[in-house]
């Protein structure tokens, strides 16, 4: 009887050991599956990020006010038809277009670039006159960027080279339509 009780105890102990080992393997598999799934999701999100690397982003009105202000462009109260696009990863190019009331046009220009009308040139500078850059796989309506259509352009160009970097700030004023085009880039 002692032998039988001892055998039952050993059997229970062996079953418990097998169950313990089974639970360990079960939880190890569960944990490994969760880690692999998390790794899959992480790698997929990185892949999606790389697929949109360098895409041009275009916004309008409500979203664009903060973006324009973060680009250090001071807008007057009555500014409308606000447009903004940005492209680049480390070196950014920003395209901004806005229309202001005629009576605020030159005050807005002076508040931003500290130049008066007589200090501006009557040309559309390059690369401001170029189309907005975007990836071939993007389908964007960029028809709002049309500085070549300005009949009597007045422009200001600031191009500075620093060691290893270039800063470009270009402004184009369409006095007839009271519209301002701004292109800023670094790189």
Q: Where are the domains of the chain?
A: 1-51, 57-186
| Cα(59)–Cα(139) distance, integer angstroms | 14
Distance, CA of 156 to CA of 172 (rounded, Å): 7
Residues 101, 167, 97: CA angle, nearest 5 degrees: 25
Cα→Cα distances 141→9, 51, 131, 144, 146, Å: 79, 20, 12, 8, 12
CA distance 5 to 38: 49
**pLDDT computed for residue 59 by the predictor:** 61
| pTM of this structure | 0.65
Dmax over CA atoms of the chain, in Å, equals 115
DSSP string, 13-27: HHHHHHHHHHHHHHH
For 90, the token pair is 């480390």
What confidence category does residue 9 fall into, taking pLDDT thresholds of 50, 70 and 90? low
**Do residues 82 and 65 touch, judged by C-beta distance below 8 A?**
yes
The pLDDT value recorded for residue 99 is 93
Q: Inform me whether the pLDDT recorded for 28 exceeds 90.
A: no
Q: What are the helix (H) ranges across the chain?
A: 2-51, 64-70, 105-113
CA distance to 48, 125, 143, per residue, from 139 (Å):
17, 26, 12
Q: Which two tokens stand for residue 87?
A: 């492209």
What's phi and psi for 15, nearest 5 deg? -60, -45
Inter-residue contact 182 to 132 (CB < 8 Å): no
Per residue in 53-111, pLDDT tens? 556 666 656 677 888 888 888 988 889 888 888 877 677 788 889 999 999 999 999 99
Tens digits of residue pLDDT in 110-168: 999 998 888 888 888 887 767 766 666 556 677 788 888 889 989 888 888 777 777 78
Model pLDDT, residue 134: 63
The b/e string for 70-89 (b: 16+ C-beta within 10 A; e otherwise) is ebebebeeebeebbbbbbee
């Amino acid at each position: 009887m002692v032998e039988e009780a001892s055998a039952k105890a050993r059997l229970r102990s062996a079953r418990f050991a097998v169950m313990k080992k089974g639970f360990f393997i079960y939880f190890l598999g569960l944990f490994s599956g969760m880690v692999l799934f998390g790794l899959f999701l992480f790698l997929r999100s990185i892949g999606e990020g790389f697929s949109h690397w360098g895409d041009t982003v275009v916004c309008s009105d409500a979203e664009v006010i903060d973006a324009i202000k973060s680009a250090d462009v001071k807008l007057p109260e009555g500014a409308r038809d606000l447009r903004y696009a940005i492209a680049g990863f480390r070196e950014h190019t920003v395209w901004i277009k806005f229309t202001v009331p005629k009576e605020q046009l030159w005050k807005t220009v002076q508040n931003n670039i500290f130049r008066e009308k007589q200090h501006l040139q009557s040309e559309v500078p390059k690369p401001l006159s170029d189309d907005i850059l975007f990836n071939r796989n993007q389908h964007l309506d960029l028809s709002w960027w049309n500085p070549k259509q300005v009949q009597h352009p007045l422009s200001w160009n600031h191009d500075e080279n620093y060691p290893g970097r270039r800063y470009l700030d270009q402004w184009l004023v369409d006095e007839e339509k009271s519209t301002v085009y701004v292109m800023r880039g670094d790189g």
